């Protein structure tokens, strides 16, 4: 039974259009079917069929707001699975300047569902640990100092809920851990809303405000956006 179920899950991503839609959804936002159709270069009617297949496989769920319907990844574990599969897809030669720039920008910072990944995310983890905002001695603990710094930056620390506040997440480009969980999701959401960060094409994330990250322990030299040079 497990073999059959595994094959069914794998087949949900076997189609290039469905794979493209899942990669688009890794930015953590809810998308309309029309937007997913444009991202995959297919007709909306075809995209609807693909969404139904992904929903049956448990990859996506529907969200309704007023008269509008949206689609998003159903669970952070699904996002992690897609991210891991994307890792293997990236293990191929990079051709051309545009693709090279895109790869460098994704390596620097990208969304992994609802939190940051890449060089920036690893630097954020290291900075929060080295400056005493997070304590590793008894699991992952946000310290009182960490709460004060985040409060000063306007980041609301999630309270309660089934999702852990912090957890280790292996970064596939850096081969080191970054933080996942409810708090990194809150940092990304606030960073975008406050203008510290912007979401760029293909899941890349750009830093616009250095000071907030410096207060979280990130070295300023690690915040430079990779250009075309």
Q: By C-alpha distance, which of 116, 119, 145, 152 is closest to 130?
A: 145
Instruction: Identify the CATH class of 2-79.
Output: mainly alpha
Lowest-confidence range among 27-31, 149-153, 178-182, 216-220? 27-31
pLDDT digit string, tens, across residues 191-203: 999 999 998 877 8
- Annotated domain spans of the chain: 2-79, 96-222
* Entry pTM: 0.71
User: Residue 170: what pLDDT?
Assistant: 81
Q: Output the pLDDT for position 19.
A: 87
> Per-residue confidence at 171, pLDDT binned at 50, 70, 90?
confident
Quick one: pLDDT band at residue 100, thresholds 50, 70, 90?
Answer: low
pLDDT of 104 above 70: yes
Asked if residue 157 lies in contact with residue 150, where contact means CB atoms within 8 angstroms, the answer is: yes
Position 101 scores a pLDDT of 67
Q: What is the 3-class SS of 136-188, one letter each residue? A: CECECEECHHHHHHHHHCCCCCCCCCCCCCCEEEEECCCCEEEEECHHHHHHH
pLDDT at 164 over 80: yes
pLDDT of res. 97 = 40
Work out the average pLDDT over 114-119: 90
With tokens 């851990």, the residue in question is 177
| Stronger pLDDT, 6 or 92, i.e. the higher one | 6
Instruction: Select the more confidently predicted residue: 140 or 63.
Output: 140
The yes-or-no verdict on residue 28 having pLDDT over 80 is no
Question: What integer pLDDT is reported at residue 3 of this predicted model?
Answer: 57
């Amino acid at each position: 039974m497990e073999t059959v179920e595994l094959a069914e899950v794998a087949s949900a991503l076997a189609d290039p259009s469905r794979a493209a839609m899942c990669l688009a959804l890794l930015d953590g936002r809810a998308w309309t079917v029309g937007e997913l159709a444009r991202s995959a270069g297919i007709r909306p009617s075809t995209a609807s069929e693909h969404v139904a297949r992904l929903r049956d496989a448990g990859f996506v769920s529907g969200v309704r707001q007023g008269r509008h319907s949206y689609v998003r990844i159903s669970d952070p574990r699904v996002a992690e699975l897609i991210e891991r599969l994307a890792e293997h897809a990236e293990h191929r030669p990079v051709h051309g300047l545009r693709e090279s720039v895109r790869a460098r920008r994704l390596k620097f910072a990208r969304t992994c569902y609802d939190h940051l990944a890449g060089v920036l995310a690893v630097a954020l983890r290291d900075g929060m640990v080295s400056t005493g905002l997070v304590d590793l001695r008894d699991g992952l603990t946000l310290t009182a100092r960490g709460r004060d710094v985040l409060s000063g930056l306007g980041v609301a620390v999630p309270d309660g809920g089934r999702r852990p506040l912090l957890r280790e997440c292996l970064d596939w480009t850096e081969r080191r851990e970054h933080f996942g969980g409810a708090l990194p999701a809150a940092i990304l959401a606030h960073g975008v809303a406050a203008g510290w960060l912007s979401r760029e094409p293909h899941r890349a994330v750009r830093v616009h405000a250095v000071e907030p990250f410096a207060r979280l322990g990130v070295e300023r030299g690690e915040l430079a956006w990779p250009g075309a040079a």
